[in-house]
Amino acid sequence: MRVDLTKFMTAFAWPRLGPVLAVICASLLSACQSGTLPSSDIAGAQAGSDANLQSLSAVVNRTPSDPNAYNIRGAALGKARRYEEAIADFNRALQLNPRFYQAYANRGLVYRFMGNNDQAVQDYDRAIQVNPNYATAYIRRGNVYRKSSQLARALEDYNRAVQLQRTNPEAFHNRGLVYQAQNLHNFALEDFTTAIGLAPQAPAPYNARGESYLAVGDARSALDDFNAVVSRQRSNAQGWYNQGRALQALGRNSEAVSSYQKSLTLNPKNNAAKQALETARRAG
């Protein structure tokens, strides 16, 4: 299972804010940072709380001609999975400022969460047309391409993002996922290692690098990475499953049984873990 980064990116992006919005953004924690956040984190974000939405609506009512206000409220609505309302806010922001490239990218993200990849790509295209140096739009468009198995297009976008923003761990991590899908594991390992150097507390690049180590037959290095995953995120079912795979590859079947059991406690529907558990039990 290949996953996007889960901890060191935030969901929505916007330009510099006025003083009122800046104060509210301070209360929204990660919602007011630039970058991207995977959809798995969006529902529980504090930015989508009723209290914060009420505060943002008050700002919109006081400054109905400010596109930033609509963009930020749209982001909070997106985090609350109120997607249609979020789209309406981004539409209004773009009516007020047709060159608001962050709003295009944010609307594209919501379209992606809604499963409308064609419209998402169109919005990322527009963001890039307005600002060809906007790395976030290339990463997000690359994510759409990668998940629809358009790997060449995804690689092109991630390459451009890396050129524009050499310190963005998501660009390296997701490019590594493309290399991994192409069985170019040496390139993948290099990118995952760079992502880890840029974001050493994020579990996803360790998990991905461990999978590539397994693919090239280096189970010991894989185990080190999967240990890093579960030490950083005890609730990571995939990390425990992969730890079991590495232990099993090293012949440590009784320990693998324990890892698989922990994975299944967190995700009882993982059939691969169920099968691996039975295999490890028989071998042990």
Residue 15 pLDDT exceeds 80: no
Distance, in Å, from the CA atom of 253 to the CA atom of 246, rounded to the nearest integer, reads 10
Distance, in Å, from the CA atom of 72 to the CA atom of 90, rounded to the nearest integer, reads 9
Query: What is the residue-averaged pLDDT of the chain?
Result: 88
> What is 1-97's CATH number?
1.25.40
Q: Say what the pTM is.
A: 0.84
| Degrees to nearest 5, angle at CA 119 with 182 and 66 | 125
Tens digits of per-residue pLDDT, 39-88? Answer: 323 333 455 678 889 999 999 999 999 999 999 999 999 999 999 999 99
pLDDT at position 115: 96
Q: What is the per-residue burial (b if ≥16 Cβ within 10 Å, else e) of 22-46?
A: eebbeebebbbeebbbbeebbeebe
Distance, in Å, from the CA atom of 215 to the CA atom of 79, rounded to the nearest integer, reads 36
Residue 8 pLDDT exceeds 70: no
Give the whole-number percent of the chain exceeding pLDDT 90.
Answer: 81
- Residue spans per domain, the chain: 1-97, 237-284
